[in-house]
Structure 1
Amino acid sequence: MRLTSATVALLSFAVTSTRAAADGPKFAFETVQLTVDDIANFSAIAPKPINPKTPGTVCKPRPECRAFPGSSDWPADAEWEKLGAALGGGALLKPVPLAAACYPGVYQDAATCTALVNSQTITRAYFADPLSLSTQWPAGNPCPLVANPTGECTQGGLPVYVVNATSVKQIQIAVNFARNKNLRLVVKNTGHEFVGRSTGAGSLSIWTQYLKGFEILPDYSVGAFHGKAAHAGVGLQAWEVHAAMAQNDIALVSPSFATVGAFGGFMAGGGHSTMISYLGLASDQVLSLNVVTADGSFVTASPDVNSDIYFALRGGGGGTYGIVTSVVVKAHPSVNITTANIAISSLDTGIDLFWTAMKIYFAYAGTIVDAGGIDRNYIYPYANITYFNFTTQFEFPGKTIEQVNTLLAPLTTSLTTLGVTMTLTPPKTITWASEVLGEGAPRRDERFSSRLLPRAVWDDPAKYATAFAALKKIVDEGGYEIHGTAMKPSRQLVGYPGADSAVNPAFRDTVMHMVIYDSAPSSSLRSVSSAEDLAARARLSTYTDFLRQVTPGSGSYLSEGDVLEPNWQQSFFGVNYPRLLEIKNKFDPWGLFWAPSTVGSEKRAVQSVDGKTNQNGRLCRTTA
């Protein structure tokens, strides 16, 4: 059935955008956009303009639950086929988990299974797959990767269909189809994500990893910015961005791990890296974004146009307001990094002296960040907590080996004077452009929580003593591994336009971001009961409370926080939450973009099929 002329006129307005779309740099894949001709014979992919007089409202009653395979409103096979034809180029995928190669059935392939099992840390295969995640528990671990598996390989909490997006048009079609058909929609870049924000049972996924492109803008102007910038496709991973930095002799704020997507959820959640105390967060660098919004529009967001969603997309969370296709970020002069490492074991020092050394070390974090550096530290409990290992890597952008030796001398002297046995790797200098860690990344299936520890902890000896006692208790009594990153993304550091963004304000006063890892009992094991799973989560939260209590008013890092973080609206977003919720409702009155613990997510919840906290179930409305 063809659309009426009146409807076509309305759609023409919607396709060109219901809001102003300023001219900005666009890659070729962004010039391929939805047209009225595309829609004419397939109303299911038509955009739906937001009423400019009453934004944030939806006239039609909302269904209680998203459509789900087997439900009466789930699209028929013929509709999926029509969607595939509209997308073109084989873009509509119906993939199975990579680990299906290890299970009896039509997908079994012994050689592929062996390669996957043996090469997890050196291959990018998992991050170049439309379904794979860096952690398995969010999907209910439906298809464990083991050489000799037991049980079945199922889809679980993984999407049913995936759109391999290589153009804005395909994203618009997928967004419109999901909204019009009441589907659960998820967005995935690399899957280097830990709490289930890029997966969901019965969902349609938009996969953005192949939206690649990079160009230097030598003299870019937007708002009050005038200078050198880089235009980057959202699908670029860190290893690709670092190669571009080396080729163009520039520095960008990019992830340190090779397989992390540099301009997707990493950027949208804030994004901390080696550069955080030197140039700020990844979200602080953004000058403009091209984005597909929930009504099917394709717009530019910058300080000059659509400034509200520009605010939200810089630190307000990924998979929430729209799908970013490319960004313009500040390009800085190339910089070298000087690194050094320290390792200490309680087997060498004794447990009492080990903890004395830790107290001295952590107290030095303020000095590290004030010098523009960071450190990444870990304390590992071993053998039923009979001994502990500590490692840390210091990284100082723009510092020489001599300067770093001088900076670290008071710390190393204090430890040596106490008689602490330690392994000190002397400083060396590398280029930031080359500083990516390996090809792949371990698929760790741990849960965790985190806390941003503010400057006040270091400025007040009593507060520091209390905070350190809490850290020691978490490791010594709780048996948890902790991972701290000393950092300082202060407002004074980041410059225009970084400080005015949706980033959790607690970040601006942070000296250390502390993550607490929990791996027992592993929720990746399907044999673990829901009661055991929830008990383990409750225990983790109880031990995290020791840090929450000594840092009132602070918060947690959205991208590395507990999916069950109490009072998560304040913890992840601080005072920005009410403003962000208004922006969410304005640009997405349908609640199309949903992910756990993101702005507006309290309005829906997953009806878990196994009683665990995962995405393996239907998404339905709540009373919130």
Structure 2
Amino acid sequence: MKRRDCLKAGLTLPLLPLVQKAAAATGPRPAAGLTRVRPGAAGWPGTSDWDQLSRAVGGRLSVPVSPFLGDAATRSEALAQLRNPFFIGDQPALTQTSGYHGAWLSRPSARVVSAANSADVAAAVNFARRHRLRLVVKGGGHSYHGTSCAPDSLLVWTRAMNQVELHDAFVAQGAAAGTAAQPAVSVGAGAMWIDAYNAVTTHGGRYVQGGGCTSVGVTGLVTGGGFGSFSKAFGTAAASLIEAEVVTADGRVRVVNADQEPDLFWALKGGCAGSFGVVTRMTLRTHALPDTFGGVSLKVRADSDESWHALVVETLRFCRDTLCNPHWGEQLRFGDERTLGVSMVFQGLSQDAAAAAWGPFVAWLAARPQYTLLDPLQALALPARHMWDADFFRRHAPHLIAEDTRPDAPRMRMLWKGDQSQVGWYLHGYASAWMPSGLLDDAQREAAATAICAAAAHMPVELHCNKGLFGAPADALAASRATATHPAVLDAFALALIGNAGGPAYAGSGGTVDEADAREGAARVQRAYQQLRTLLPAAPTYVSECDYFQRDWQQSFWGPNYPRLLAAKRRYDPEGLFVIHHGVGSEDWSADGFERRR
């Protein structure tokens, strides 16, 4: 399963005693047994209650219905747009992932508030709290764990809040005297990364650290501590957060930053906003734009297990010596039939310089007849300002992009062709682990290669080099260290990803889940992951791309940061209004978020 085709940890000690200590220090919690209400149950809001909410939000309250279950014309249009992430994102009843085997299916909420502003969000939050409703929040809707999806819930949908505003000299509200102004961009909660890149890079000539997939929501990626193709140069997306506007469980609209409510601000930088409130706007630091962006690709096959192992060892050595620096990002894919696929991107290099960097690796292959070059080295560079310029790609490389094909779609809506396979996918299994830089050392490289080869025998292993910050510059490391993301990311040279998925499984779409295939896919993922666990038995991982059933998730996602996150959760959401799967404080709730367990 390819995360994207092109252009696109250390160990920790058990921390449960620290988590328990932090929980005890934050005061009493509501008693176990608190339940939320479902449609038809006693306490579910009546018609007059819903009418009152509708008036409060300007009539933007409705019952979400999947277009695949609509009339013939509606369903026909939906089927034609089944692989269009922008269409899927425009449907309040749908999510970009259609489910995860043994875990969840994409199903609509009972009601949706299509929020236009923070006042709408506050009205929905207050309503849910008063009536004891399950509340979910959706912006981009890309969560692999279904955190923006819950049947019988009230959905706060922020899609319409997609404004983007550039600042030449931004100073956070209430900042300490002498705080320097800096270039920045303010982005509404419903904006996608293509909205941000179009404004900041294509038209503004600067760069904002965001996601590789252009239809991903800005808010979810930033608050999840997310990565983009060039994070090796600019740090995590959360590291660029200067300020956020957020509606907390008490219905207050707060503006938080390093000087105003710093604990909540810090929690939003990688702790997942869905556990703390509803972010309505965020302001991110922008960076000087490099001269160029570009990509490098090749594919090679080894003729035996012995030569395959040697190839993996050499690839890891080359990664250490050439790729662990701010210029490079994206992935190395160790696939079936002993094949290595390279889909790397670069910044700040010329096309010739990028190709030359790979010269020694290509020469190493050429000197050994046991390797067959299936796809020769290709390097391509372009002026950085055109990286997300849809018109540029329409003219020069239309084969690299897909588009929002609806007649009224904005012209700037493009996505990388390789990302289209993710639209609507039904995940069979998924697993990931941050790979600490020590594995690249001479003393450990052989063992690392052995584990990767053993894992790849079950399922392809992708090393996403941009999702580990080993080799990043000091300023990017410092900014990323000041987030809630697990500190293992700072020393990781890559995030290892293993996954398997089937096609869309939305009700009414015609897609069905092949249970036997899904079970086998999930089992293969786990067999592959277990091979990595022999090397890294307690490897931390990235909260947004990991196993739904992640063991010891508090440690795996946040490590030593979890006690501080839990304290912020107890302070700003003591009743647990905001519950997401494996989110901060979710251990207090049933899996569906409807009953307090402790």
Q: TM-score range by the shorter chain?
A: 0.7 to 0.9
Give the letter aligned to residue 454 of structure 1.
P
Please give the alpha-carbon distance, in whole angstroms, between the structure 2 residues aligned to 1:309 and 1:471: 39
Q: Show the counterpart of 1:621.
A: 596
Q: Show the counterpart of 2:71.
A: 108
| Alignment map for 1:531-550 (pairs within 5 Å) | 537=522, 540-550=525-535
Structure 1 stretch displaced more, 518-527 or 351-360: 518-527
Matched, 1:421 2:406: no
1:528 positional shift: 6.0
- Superposed CA deviations along residues 586-607 of structure 1, whole A, max 9, x for unmatched, are 1100111111111111111235
1:491 positional shift: 7.6
Q: Show the counterpart of 2:40.
A: 70
Q: Show the counterpart of 2:11.
A: none
Q: TM-score, with normalisation over the residues of structure 2? A: 0.81
Matched, 1:474 2:426: no
- Superposed CA deviations along residues 286-318 of structure 1, whole A, max 9, x for unmatched, are 111111111111111111110001111001123
Counting aligned pairs with the same residue, the percent is 23
| Alignment map for 1:300-311 (pairs within 5 Å) | 300-311=255-266
Q: In the alignment, is the contact (CA less than 8 A) between 1:267 and 1:283 conserved in 2?
A: yes
Q: Show the counterpart of 2:497.
A: 515
Structure 1 stretch displaced more, 520-529 or 271-280: 520-529
1:133 positional shift: 1.4
Q: Show the counterpart of 1:564.
A: 549
Q: Show the counterpart of 1:323.
A: 278
- Superposed CA deviations along residues 544-590 of structure 1, whole A, max 9, x for unmatched, are 23323423554110000111111111001111011110111111001
Q: In the alignment, is the contact (CA less than 8 A) between 1:484 and 1:513 conserved in 2?
A: yes
Q: Show the counterpart of 1:581.
A: 566
- Superposed CA deviations along residues 222-252 of structure 1, whole A, max 9, x for unmatched, are 4555322222222211111111022111111
Please give the alpha-carbon distance, in whole angstroms, between the structure 2 residues aligned to 1:338 and 1:327: 26
Q: Show the counterpart of 1:11.
A: none
Q: In the alignment, is the contact (CA less than 8 A) between 1:99 and 1:113 conserved in 2?
A: yes
Number of residue pairs matched by the alignment: 528
Q: In the alignment, is the contact (CA less than 8 A) between 1:522 and 1:528 conserved in 2?
A: no
Q: Show the counterpart of 2:465.
A: 486
Give the letter aligned to residue 620 of structure 1.
E
Q: Show the counterpart of 1:464.
A: 445
Q: Show the counterpart of 1:85.
A: 55
**Counterparts in 2 of 1:473 and 1:140: CA distance versus 1, 3 Å:** closer
Q: Show the counterpart of 1:455.
A: 437
CA RMSD of aligned residues (A): 3.0
Matched, 1:360 2:349: no
Please give the alpha-carbon distance, in whole angstroms, between the structure 1 residues aligned to 2:43 and 2:595: 14
Q: Which of the numbers 282, 286, 295 marks the counterpart of 2:250?
A: 295
Q: Which of the numbers 591, 594, 597 marks the counterpart of 2:579?
A: 594
Give the secondary-structure state (helix, strand or coil) at the position aligned to 1:215: strand
| Alignment map for 1:4-19 (pairs within 5 Å) | none
Matched, 1:137 2:99: yes
Give the letter aligned to residue 378 of structure 2.
P
- Superposed CA deviations along residues 483-515 of structure 1, whole A, max 9, x for unmatched, are 221134358241664421101111111101111
Give the secondary-structure state (helix, strand or coil) at the position aligned to 1:277: helix
**Counterparts in 2 of 1:528 and 1:426: CA distance versus 1, 3 Å:** closer
Please give the alpha-carbon distance, in whole angstroms, between the structure 2 residues aligned to 1:369 and 1:267: 23
**Counterparts in 2 of 1:235 and 1:411: CA distance versus 1, 3 Å:** same
Matched, 1:121 2:121: no
Q: Show the counterpart of 1:252.
A: 208
1:341 positional shift: 3.0
Give the letter aligned to residue 174 of structure 1.
A
1:388 positional shift: 5.2
Q: In the alignment, is the contact (CA less than 8 A) between 2:163 and 2:191 conserved in 1?
A: yes
**Counterparts in 2 of 1:415 and 1:535: CA distance versus 1, 3 Å:** closer
| Alignment map for 1:259-270 (pairs within 5 Å) | 259-262=215-218, 264-270=219-225
Please give the alpha-carbon distance, in whole angstroms, between the structure 1 residues aligned to 2:461 and 2:68: 30
Please give the alpha-carbon distance, in whole angstroms, between the structure 2 residues aligned to 1:527 and 1:136: 10
Please give the alpha-carbon distance, in whole angstroms, between the structure 2 residues aligned to 1:159 and 1:139: 20
- Superposed CA deviations along residues 387-409 of structure 1, whole A, max 9, x for unmatched, are 35542222121112232123212
Q: In the alignment, is the contact (CA less than 8 A) between 1:243 and 1:433 conserved in 2?
A: no
- Superposed CA deviations along residues 35-59 of structure 1, whole A, max 9, x for unmatched, are xxxxxxxxxxxxxxxxxxx986567
1:142 positional shift: 9.5
Give the letter aligned to residue 266 of structure 2.
F
Give the letter aligned to residue 86 of structure 1.
A
1:421 positional shift: 2.6
Please give the alpha-carbon distance, in whole angstroms, between the structure 1 residues aligned to 2:166 and 2:288: 13
Matched, 1:162 2:124: no
Q: In the alignment, is the contact (CA less than 8 A) between 2:33 and 2:597 conserved in 1?
A: no
Q: Which has the larger radius of gyration?
A: 1
Please give the alpha-carbon distance, in whole angstroms, between the structure 2 residues aligned to 1:515 and 1:178: 37
Structure 1, unpaired ranges of 5+: 1-53, 101-106, 144-155, 382-386, 608-617
Matched, 1:445 2:426: yes
Larger relative contact order (CA 8 Å, sep ≥ 6): 2
**Counterparts in 2 of 1:112 and 1:357: CA distance versus 1, 3 Å:** farther
Q: TM-score, with normalisation over the residues of structure 1? A: 0.78
Matched, 1:272 2:227: yes
Q: In the alignment, is the contact (CA less than 8 A) between 1:56 and 1:587 conserved in 2?
A: no
Give the letter aligned to residue 288 of structure 2.
P
Please give the alpha-carbon distance, in whole angstroms, between the structure 2 residues aligned to 1:117 and 1:521: 13
Give the secondary-structure state (helix, strand or coil) at the position aligned to 1:560: coil
Q: Show the counterpart of 1:14.
A: none
Give the secondary-structure state (helix, strand or coil) at the position aligned to 1:519: strand
Structure 2, unpaired ranges of 5+: 1-24, 389-400, 403-413
Please give the alpha-carbon distance, in whole angstroms, between the structure 2 residues aligned to 1:464 and 1:521: 36
**Counterparts in 2 of 1:266 and 1:433: CA distance versus 1, 3 Å:** farther
Q: In the alignment, is the contact (CA less than 8 A) between 1:605 and 1:619 conserved in 2?
A: yes
Q: Show the counterpart of 2:10.
A: none
Q: Which of the numbers 136, 141, 148 marks the counterpart of 1:191?
A: 141
